[in-house]
Amino acid sequence: MHWYQKQLRMLQTVLREIDIINYDAKAVVEYMKKSNSNVLVVNAGGIVDFFHHETEPSHGNPFMKEGQEILADICRECHSNDFRVITRIDFRGAQKYRYEAHPDWFAANPDGSPKLWGQTGLCSPCYLSEYANGHAVRFVKNLMGKFPIDGIWENSVAFAMGACYCRVCRETYLADTGKEIPLDADYASPVFNEYRAWKEKKADQHIIRIRDTVKSFGEDKAYSAEVFGMFHNSFYTGIDTYAARYFDYVVGVGFLTGAASGNANKPYDDLSNAASAVRFLKALDPHKTTVLLTGNNGTRWRLVKDPSQETRIWMWEAASVGANFWNCHFNGQYPAATHDRRNAYIETDVYTYLKNNEALIQGQIPVTDVGIYFSKASKDKANIERDESYGNAIKGLEAALVDNHIPYGFITDNDLTPEKLASYSILCLPNAMCLSDQQVEAIKGYVEKGGSLLASYKTSLFDENGNQRLDFALKDVFGLSYTGIEKDTSFDCYQMLRMPAHEITAGMDADKTIYFINGGNTLLCSAMDGETVCTYVPIIPNQYPEQAWIRITETQFPTVFTHKYGKGKVVYFSNQMDALVYTNGHEDYFNLVFNSLKYLRKEKWSLETDASDSVHAGFTKDLKSAGHYILSFVNVGSSGRRTIRRLNEAQGFTAALRLPAKDLVSVKAIYPSPKGDMTLIGSESSDGQLALRLQIPPFKEFLAIAIEVS
Ligand SMILES: [Zn+2]
């Protein structure tokens, strides 16, 4: 087993040029010891070089002294403490004077001028250019030949936006496709379909080239590169999280001040998104170590700390689903030696929990009663059209799952097999607009054999290239057909309750109302065969109040519809029910989604608890060693608004587990330790199923329990 397949508790110091002055390798390692880190990621170079070398064109750190070699120093200090060293390389661009020395080594606009990287003034390479390939390979060989480093982190690998018209790209594209690269067209238009697919392949080849260079120094040398979360717009760069298949460990970027931080009204991401990011990474490759790249001082306002209590919750959320960590720090030599040291060591409690329980934690993946289908084609389409309906559908569905503590995970569309699908009791397609015929067949087969399906809105209405179909490709499975008419139901719209006694409306006081709320958009669909639980109501304007009524409120167009297909059960929402849980949050949406999941399930959830909504649950199992589970809870507080500054203790509650086993071997609290007086209040075995009941004591931030069964 290689070191990168074991637990990774990383510290990254993204050094600024001035941080090399009086670089103190011993002090960095002292910080790592105290915080229980075991891997350091530190600058080697690319844009600014932090070591002396002969690979031209170089750009040495102007503060680096003759004879100073911080990489030699840090390798020595780290290795003598059994810590690993990964160096950061970055070939996203070069300064103008380096570009001028080799203008043919970089990406070009149609007129031959350099493509620039954002506002930095750096000139970008493309995936075929000499700078990012021949030069980068020579650079890595030089670096790895000089210092006994343990791996390479390729930062900012998504470096070439849109189309490149350098001579190499033009020639290669012509040779590969027999065509010229399109000119004067929108990059998002179909004109570029073939080019974009070609570019994705070239991006892959670049990654493979750098990885192979790293591996030429030994299999024990690790390679990974910077990819972002599941909703990241990869359309213009050709690189998204699926590139993780080439990495030795799967790392995804997820800062508290992350995805949402571009929005001034919502600078801090939803706390459950740390766990969501990790669930997604685990789905990409459950066999690899999964690392959440986050940071004690955040990424936007890098010179001051991120909110402390929320940073702790953020990390515990990720830990609850089996994450390893990468603490990325952007200034100073280490977190306790910079402008704002208030969050120095904030990672220590989580890192210590991981370290103390490494044998139990490593290899844990989420228990998944429910699988959320991730459609890359739908994500791409949504990103091109700046349409948030896809991301919001996933986030809303997740909110309903998280608040009800239902074990779930993701299933990605890149390797959809019947075996993989069959492992989920419920498959969810939240507005999975773009499905290929092959994917449709796989999903049909899954339902036919008895799988349960929850789908919403435009699911299967487009093919994998974003071309609209006349009707849902899954219409036989849904039991209804699209009329081709879409209604804006964002305001003053309602759903009429047609089956008040249905399981899907249970607990919603259905005997006291004829309407539930509606919002977003609604597709008008004709039922073919199934049960109409709720129907679309045409807009009832609220002004002027005397005329706030309409003549016909009853229609035949279902908003909530159930159907049986083969041996399986299906619920389809023709509106944006799941997205509305996230964007509007009315409890009608929330309850209709949750009740639909309950209606679709075949047996009780693997975890059932009366914990409040302000306690999030993680329930994981060991992929390699059957019978080893970890149940954990995170207190996310309930101040009513962000940010959360203080946590009160979460009240005690009960948790019931249902496991495919006969006997209980052991159950013990592993955090907080040793004061967690959790009690086993029931254990029953029948028909190959073991039912456990636990009384969970009050706790402050995080509580974890290891369970072994046979
Ligand atoms: Zn090019």
Ligand 1 centre to CA of 176 (Å) is 14
What mean pLDDT is predicted for residues 605-632? 96
Ligand 1 centre to CA of 151 (Å) is 28
- Residue 263's pLDDT is what? 57
For the cut 70, the answer to whether the pLDDT of residue 261 exceeds it is no
For the ranges 165-169, 295-299, 305-309, the lowest mean pLDDT is seen at 295-299
- Chain segment 368-424, per-residue pLDDT in tens: 999 999 999 999 999 889 899 999 999 999 999 999 999 999 999 987 889 999 999
Residues 59 and 73: their CA atoms lie apart, in Å, by 21
Ligand 1 centre to CA of 171 (Å) is 9
Enter the DSSP assignment of 652. Answer: P
For the ranges 172-181, 254-263, 276-285, 630-639, the lowest mean pLDDT is seen at 254-263
- Chain segment 369-380, per-residue pLDDT in tens: 999 999 999 999
Ligand 1 centre to CA of 233 (Å) is 21
For the cut 80, the answer to whether the pLDDT of residue 639 exceeds it is no
As to burial, measured by CB atoms within 10 angstroms (0-12 exposed, 13-18 middle, 19+ buried), residue 462 is buried
- Chain segment 433-463, per-residue pLDDT in tens: 999 999 999 999 999 999 999 999 999 999 9
Across 4-38, the runs of DSSP E, i.e. the strands, are 9-13
For the cut 70, the answer to whether the pLDDT of residue 676 exceeds it is no
Ligand 1 centre to CA of 326 (Å) is 33
Is the dihedral angle over the CA atoms 573, 576, 580, 582 positive or is it negative? positive
As to burial, measured by CB atoms within 10 angstroms (0-12 exposed, 13-18 middle, 19+ buried), residue 623 is middle
- Residue 160's pLDDT is what? 78
CA dist 403 to 151, 204, 316, 618, Å? 40, 38, 16, 12
3-class state of residue 585 by DSSP: coil
Ligand 1 centre to CA of 166 (Å) is 4
For the ranges 8-17, 252-261, 649-658, the lowest mean pLDDT is seen at 252-261
More confident: 257 or 511: 511
Ligand 1 centre to CA of 46 (Å) is 19
Ligand 1 centre to CA of 173 (Å) is 10
For the cut 70, the answer to whether the pLDDT of residue 265 exceeds it is no
Ligand 1 centre to CA of 644 (Å) is 47
pLDDT band at 54 (very low <50, low <70, confident <90, very high): confident
Residues 382 and 462: their CA atoms lie apart, in Å, by 12
If one counts every other C-beta atom within 10 angstroms of the C-beta of residue 144, the result is 21
What mean pLDDT is predicted for residues 2-15? 98
Identify residue 212 by its one-letter amino acid code: D
| 42 contacts 15 by C-beta, under 8 angstroms | yes
- Chain segment 545-568, per-residue pLDDT in tens: 999 999 999 999 999 999 999 999
Ligand 1 centre to CA of 120 (Å) is 20
- Residue 517's pLDDT is what? 98
pLDDT band at 144 (very low <50, low <70, confident <90, very high): very high
Distance separating the N- and C-terminal Cα atoms of the chain: 26
Enter the DSSP assignment of 510. Answer: G
What mean pLDDT is predicted for residues 129-157? 96
pLDDT band at 675 (very low <50, low <70, confident <90, very high): low
pLDDT band at 677 (very low <50, low <70, confident <90, very high): confident
Ligand 1 centre to CA of 155 (Å) is 19
- Residue 259's pLDDT is what? 59
Paired sense of beta strands 689-696 and 653-659, if any? antiparallel
Ligand 1 centre to CA of 129 (Å) is 6
pLDDT band at 241 (very low <50, low <70, confident <90, very high): confident
- Residue 228's pLDDT is what? 81
For the cut 60, the answer to whether the pLDDT of residue 624 exceeds it is yes
Ligand 1 centre to CA of 584 (Å) is 45
Whole-number percent of the chain with pLDDT over 70: 98
Average of per-residue pLDDT values in the chain: 95
Ligand 1 centre to CA of 365 (Å) is 40
What mean pLDDT is predicted for residues 521-542? 97
- Chain segment 333-368, per-residue pLDDT in tens: 999 999 999 999 999 999 999 999 999 999 999 999
Residues 37 and 32: their CA atoms lie apart, in Å, by 5
| 353 contacts 704 by C-beta, under 8 angstroms | yes
Rounded to 5 degrees, φ, ψ at 446 are -65, -45
What mean pLDDT is predicted for residues 38-48? 98
- How many CA atoms lie within 13 Å of 70's alpha carbon, on the beta-carbon side? 29
Residues 99 and 167: their CA atoms lie apart, in Å, by 15
For the cut 80, the answer to whether the pLDDT of residue 583 exceeds it is yes
Whole-number percent of the chain with pLDDT over 90: 88
pLDDT band at 674 (very low <50, low <70, confident <90, very high): low
What mean pLDDT is predicted for residues 613-627? 95
